[in-house]
């Protein structure tokens, strides 16, 4: 897991390097719109094995803001609501309940758009922050055992996120279809204090966003 996190940090720094070395003519342009998506989250706890081997299914949705400082390079952020969590099972791997964690997520992406026509290849990388709103317990979660109290260790988590996909751009509309991977770093710099704390978190999924651009219009759109 530590090796994967090091690779993620390297890719993020590489994206920042590309941003600073770009030689395109400055052509500021902004876009704002909405995004919906579906993801699978997976958590491991310091006490041992994952709580359940299958991924927790959840939805995300919110608003997007994109700023293109150059024709191919820019910055993108979102304010998203998402559902995360895990399933609990017994010794026979039979589900007995689940815990749903409601969060607000704010990613900060370096955004690369490759192409000269309306169809573009997209590459994004950057940090993200998730803020817990509330947790809900459903089912009989190991009543009378220590695992009944298993929870996130704090209300704020962070990590690195990577996206890739395609965009269709016109002077009046931008549609983006992307897959994503989130790698949690919450306990990367901190010691684990309890076997009930999350020691690793990751999620993968996809999203579609629709935005309205304003500002400079590029010739090839």
Q: Residue 32: its pLDDT value, please?
A: 95
Question: Do residues 86 and 43 lie in contact, with contact meaning Cβ atoms separated by under 8 Å?
Answer: yes
Q: What is the CATH number of the domain that holds 144?
A: 2.40.160.20
Q: Residue 174: its pLDDT value, please?
A: 93
10: in domain:
yes
Lowest mean pLDDT among 22-36, 95-109, 125-139: 22-36
104: in domain:
yes
Q: How many domains does the chain have?
A: 1
171: in domain:
yes
Encode pLDDT of 152-181 as tens digits: 666 788 889 999 999 998 888 999 999 999
198: in domain:
yes
Encode pLDDT of 79-111 as tens digits: 999 998 877 766 555 666 778 889 999 999 999
221: in domain:
no
The domain in which residue 204 lies consists of 2-215
DSSP state of 187: T
Distance CA 34, CA 211 (A): 6
Chain centroid to Cα 197, Å, comes to: 20
Q: Residue 124: its pLDDT value, please?
A: 95
220: in domain:
no
48: in domain:
yes
132: in domain:
yes
pTM of this prediction exceeds 0.85? no
Torsion-angle region of residue 6: left (phi > 0), alpha (psi -120 to 50) or beta?
alpha
Query: For the stretch 53-76, what's the b/e string if a residue is b when 16 or more beta carbons lie within 10 angstroms of its beta carbon?
Result: eebbebebebebebebbbbbbbbb
Q: Residue 199: its pLDDT value, please?
A: 61
């Amino acid at each position: 897991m530590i090796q994967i996190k090091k690779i993620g940090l390297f890719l993020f720094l590489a994206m920042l390097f590309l941003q600073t070395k770009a030689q395109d003519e400055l052509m500021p342009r902004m876009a704002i719109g909405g995004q919906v998506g579906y993801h699978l989250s997976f958590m491991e706890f310091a006490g041992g094995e994952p709580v359940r081997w299958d991924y927790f299914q959840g939805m995300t949705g919110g608003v997007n803001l994109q700023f293109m400082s150059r024709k191919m390079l820019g910055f993108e952020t979102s304010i998203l609501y998402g559902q995360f969590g895990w399933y609990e099972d017994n010794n026979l791997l039979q589900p007995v309940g689940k815990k749903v964690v409601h969060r607000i997520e704010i990613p900060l992406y370096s955004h690369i758009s490759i192409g000269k026509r309306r169809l573009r290849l997209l590459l994004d990388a950057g940090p993200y922050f998730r803020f817990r709103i509330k947790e809900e317990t459903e089912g009989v979660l190991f009543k009378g055992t220590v695992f009944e109290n298993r929870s996130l260790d704090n209300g704020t988590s962070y990590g690195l996120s990577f996206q890739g996909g395609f965009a269709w751009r016109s002077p009046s509309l931008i549609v983006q279809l992307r897959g994503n991977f989130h790698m949690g770093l919450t306990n990367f710099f901190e010691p684990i204090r309890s076997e009930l704390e999350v020691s690793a978190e990751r999620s993968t999924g996809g999203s579609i966003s629709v935005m309205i651009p304003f500002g400079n219009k590029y010739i090839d759109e």
